[in-house]
Amino acid sequence: MTRSAADDIKMVEGWGYTRSEALEMVTRRAVFEARLVADTVRHRPDRDKLEGHLRYLDELRAICLASTRRTHAAG
């Protein structure tokens, strides 16, 4: 099963956090996990795991950019 950044954000929002708080929490976790993946790649490359994480980060990037565009459009 592939994780979705959008699903992770919705899950955190379900815990009572605002959209921006959820986005921040998911982003911080993704950065932490990126460090783990980078360390793993140095020692034991797992291309599938790396590709999956890069897709997750790409989705998260798109969500962050869309959020920024909405914020600027409203302001």
How many domains is the chain partitioned into structurally?
1
**pLDDT at residue 39, rounded to an integer:** 80
Report the C-alpha gap between 42 and 50 in whole angstroms.
12
Percent of the chain with pLDDT over 90: 53
- Whole-prediction pTM: 0.79
Using one digit for the tens of pLDDT, what is the confidence trace for 33-52? 888 877 876 777 678 888 88
User: If residue 45 lies in a helix (H) or strand (E), which one and from where to where?
Assistant: none
**pLDDT at residue 52, rounded to an integer:** 87
pLDDT bucket at 59, cuts 50 / 70 / 90: very high
pLDDT for residue 1 is more than 60: no
73: how many CB neighbours lie within 10 A of its CB?
7
Domain, as residue range, for 52: 5-74
